[in-house]
Structure 1
Amino acid sequence: MANTAVKKSMLRNVYDRCSAMPESIQPRLLSFIFGRVVKFFGTAGLRFELLTPERSIVFLANRKKVQNHIGGIHAVAMGLICESATGAIVGLNLPADATPVIKSMQIDYLKRASGAMRAEAWLTAEQIELMKSAPKGEVEVACTVTDEDGKEPIEVAMIWAWVPSKRPEK
């Protein structure tokens, strides 16, 4: 009988280990580890407030190193929190033999943001099942971004694809 168990991704293994820790330190621990692997996440000072297979929230404080010329969070940093929030839950749900790839990132800047920002992303049960069962595919990951005042200064559309990690031999 063949072993049909799906091998977990590195991110899923880290997530499972962190989930065994006290709840109060899980976001900080996940943020630290993620920042060591995804260097730009750590460099920008992003942190997870929540990470589950269905939902993630990434926080970015309005600090000097991520500011634009008028003291707000830079446009590219706003994109980074969206890419990080959506990419983390995609990576968390893919098996070890799949590679996640951002396919499309549409950002509409609607109004000036105030202070720190949060990106909240989520997946449906159907999207998660597709990622676990299809060797390649794509999903649009829902994501909402809010600033300190609770406003939504940007709207985003994030499409993630996944492909087999190893290309088939010809």
Structure 2
Amino acid sequence: MPTNRLNRAVTLISKLPHALRTPALSLLFGSQVKFASTAKVRVHSLTFDRAVLSLANRRPVQNHINGVHAAAMVLLAESATGFLVGMNVPDDKLPLIKSLKVDYLKRATGALQATAVLTAQQIEAIGTHEKGEVVVSVTVTDEAGIEPIRCEMLWAWVSKKR
């Protein structure tokens, strides 16, 4: 597995007592992605191939019908995929969202959870190719276990040097 600043920090956090891991991962993520911090996106688990994040249905992220706002749903999905790509991108590369497609399927009920995954082949490509792109699979479910949105997130990586 490739090593970078993010996955080294996550490895250290994984050694904390279980009750402290989510708060520590969420604090780390929020320090880097201010908008996600403002929305209080929580990071529950993060490995090289899987990220699980959540967003509570709180007033600051609600729409006019007291559900999680459409933009907040996308923030959650983009955060899960971006953090996962970030775990695998070498320090000399920059991860960038290239495109996202979102289909709104159903009204969300309660809090949301996003689970993003990468295949072994995708991880290998991110770690070895100078630049490239990858569609990151992400599933967003609500408290009823239903997918209120279906997403396709296309991430790219490029050299930090111009």
Question: Among 31, 37, 41, which residue is 1:36 paired with?
Answer: 31
Aligned to 1:12: 7
Aligned to 2:46: 51
What letter matches 2:73 in structure 1?
M
Matched, 1:165 2:160: yes
Give deviations 1:55-100, integer Å, cap 9, x for gaps. 0111000000000111000000000000000001100011100000
Aligned to 1:84: 79
Aligned to 2:148: 153
Q: CA deviation at 1:7?
A: 7.9
CA contact (8 A) 1:7 1:96 kept: no
2-structure distance, mates of 1:158, 1:100: 12
2-structure distance, mates of 1:110, 1:7: 36
Q: Runs of at least 4 residues of structure 1 off by over 4 A?
A: none
Give deviations 1:13-53, integer Å, cap 9, x for gaps. 21122122223322220111110121111100100111111
Aligned to 1:93: 88
Query: Over the residues paired in the alignment, what is the CA RMSD in angstroms?
Result: 1.3
The SS at the match of 1:163 is strand
CA contact (8 A) 2:109 2:142 kept: yes
2-structure distance, mates of 1:64, 1:98: 37
TM-score, normalization by structure 1: 0.91
Identity across the alignment (%): 51
Show structure 1 runs of 5+ residues with no match. Answer: 1-5
Q: Kindly tell me: are residues 7 and 92 of structure 1, through their superposed partners in 2, closer, same or farther at Cα, counting changes over 3 Å? A: closer
Structure of greater Rg: 1
Q: CA deviation at 1:10?
A: 2.5
Question: Among 60, 63, 85, which residue is 1:65 paired with?
Answer: 60
Give deviations 1:121-164, integer Å, cap 9, x for gaps. 00000000001100100000000110010011110000100000
